[in-house]
């Protein structure tokens, strides 16, 4: 029997209706469309409005979109992983709730968190479960309601982030398509540069943490930017070398959407033409765990069986990596 590879066989997405434009941000903080567009590439982002709706709401809709497109009975799913940096609650798994709500009654499920690398690391985990031969259908969802931890008076962060979710299905493939290789890394020294300080076990919520605005994302943008470009380029170059891939062999770069300039610098380092670089940051901003699956959704029509994809992400922690995968449908 040939070796089992873990292939992506379906994608789905959900974006909330509300569009927060650069023009509206101009009325909220001291910024302007020209600065945001030239420094980040973002024109608008989606925001989930309404009471009692968390990341699970986004994830459930993305999963339902995939189930409907694939005409898949949710009872066939073995495992659901929800990659998220904004779980519904600090305790009680978001994934368990998503699984119940979509009717995946035969699945086990868990959350996976590694800031903006959550989905990339989730791909690695999902692939291992499939490659083991034990599980046949693993649903990986990236869902983040970033607006729940953004200070809309802080122009350094509120212009960047948006809400959204994407889902992909991993299944066994015996034609050799799917997951081939990964380089995944973390460096805890980076946690000072991008964090939400309070609400966890180090600094539980208190009146003081609220007064000090410590439940919001704080970012040293320049340090994150430099580390992101250096490390994403490094792992992309290395995974190409290990797998004897030249730039002309690559069909698509699927890079975390945090800043258009970071993506362009990474693509430039591996000498990839613009047409091969998936980009949708102008529409959604940085949706943390949802950026990679949202790209696959937006480019699904252009993807062909056998296309060689390099995924890469960088995020808080620091955490980063690259994955080499061939498209299976």
- Interacting residues with ligand UT7 (CB under 6 A): 31, 35, 39-40, 116, 155-156, 159, 194, 221-222, 224-225, 228, 258-259, 262, 286, 315
The smaller minimum CB distance to ligand UT7, of residues 116 and 296, is found at 116
The alpha-carbon radius of gyration of the chain (Å, integer) is: 19
The smaller minimum CB distance to ligand UT7, of residues 131 and 264, is found at 264
Q: Name the minimum Å distance from CB 261 to ligand UT7.
A: 7
Distances (CA, A) of 103 to 50, 69, 99: 24, 16, 6
Exactly one of 116, 173, 227, 297 is catalytic; name it: 116
H or E segment to which residue 185 belongs: strand 178-186
The smaller minimum CB distance to ligand UT7, of residues 62 and 290, is found at 290
Q: Name the minimum Å distance from CB 110 to ligand UT7.
A: 23
Distances (CA, A) of 250 to 269, 276, 306, 309, 315: 14, 8, 11, 6, 24
297 carries an active-site annotation: no
Could you tell me which of 47, 34, 209 has the C-alpha nearest to residue 144? Answer: 47
158 carries an active-site annotation: no
282 carries an active-site annotation: no
Q: Name the minimum Å distance from CB 162 to ligand UT7.
A: 11
The smaller minimum CB distance to ligand UT7, of residues 19 and 29, is found at 29
CA distance 107 to 78: 4
Which residue's beta carbon is nearest to the bound ligand UT7?
Answer: 221
Q: Name the minimum Å distance from CB 86 to ligand UT7.
A: 13
> Do 114 and 186 form a contact (C-beta atoms < 8 A)?
yes
Could you tell me which of 79, 81, 67 has the C-alpha nearest to residue 106? Answer: 79
Exactly one of 180, 256, 259, 297 is catalytic; name it: 256
Give the residue numbers marked as catalytic: 116, 256, 286
């Amino acid at each position: 029997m040939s070796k089992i590879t873990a292939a992506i066989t379906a994608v789905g997405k959900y974006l909330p209706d509300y569009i927060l434009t650069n023009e509206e941000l101009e009325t909220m903080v001291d910024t302007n469309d020209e600065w945001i567009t030239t420094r980040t590439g973002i024109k608008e982002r989606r925001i989930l409005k309404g009471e009692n709706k968390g990341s699970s709401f986004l994830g459930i809709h993305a999963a339902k979109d995939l189930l409907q497109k694939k005409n898949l009975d949710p009872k066939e799913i073995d495992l659901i992983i929800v990659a998220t940096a904004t779980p519904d609650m600090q305790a009680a798994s978001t994934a368990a709730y998503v699984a119940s709500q979509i009717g995946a009654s035969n699945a086990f499920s868990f959350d996976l968190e590694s800031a903006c690398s959550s989905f990339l690391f989730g791909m690695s985990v999902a692939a291992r479960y499939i490659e083991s031969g034990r599980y046949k259908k693993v649903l990986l969802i990236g869902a983040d309601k970033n607006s729940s931890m953004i200070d809309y008076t802080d122009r350094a962060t509120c212009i960047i982030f948006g809400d959204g979710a994407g889902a992909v299905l991993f299944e066994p493939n015996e034609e050799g398509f799917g997951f081939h290789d990964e380089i995944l890394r973390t460096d805890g020294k980076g946690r000072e540069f991008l964090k939400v300080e309070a609400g966890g076990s180090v600094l539980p919520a208190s009146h003081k943490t609220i007064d000090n605005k410590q439940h919001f994302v704080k970012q040293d943008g320049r340090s994150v930017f430099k580390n992101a470009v250096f490390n994403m380029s490094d792992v992309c170059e290395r995974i190409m070398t290990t797998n004897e891939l030249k730039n002309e062999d690559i069909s698509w770069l699927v890079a975390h959407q945090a800043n258009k300039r970071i993506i362009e610098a990474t693509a430039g380092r591996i000498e990839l033409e613009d047409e091969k670089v998936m980009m949708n940051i102008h529409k959604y901003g940085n949706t943390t765990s949802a950026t990679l699956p949202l790209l696959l959704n937006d480019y699904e029509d252009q993807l062909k069986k056998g296309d060689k994809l390099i995924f890469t992400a960088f995020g808080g922690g620091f955490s980063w990596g690259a994955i080499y995968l061939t498209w299976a449908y």
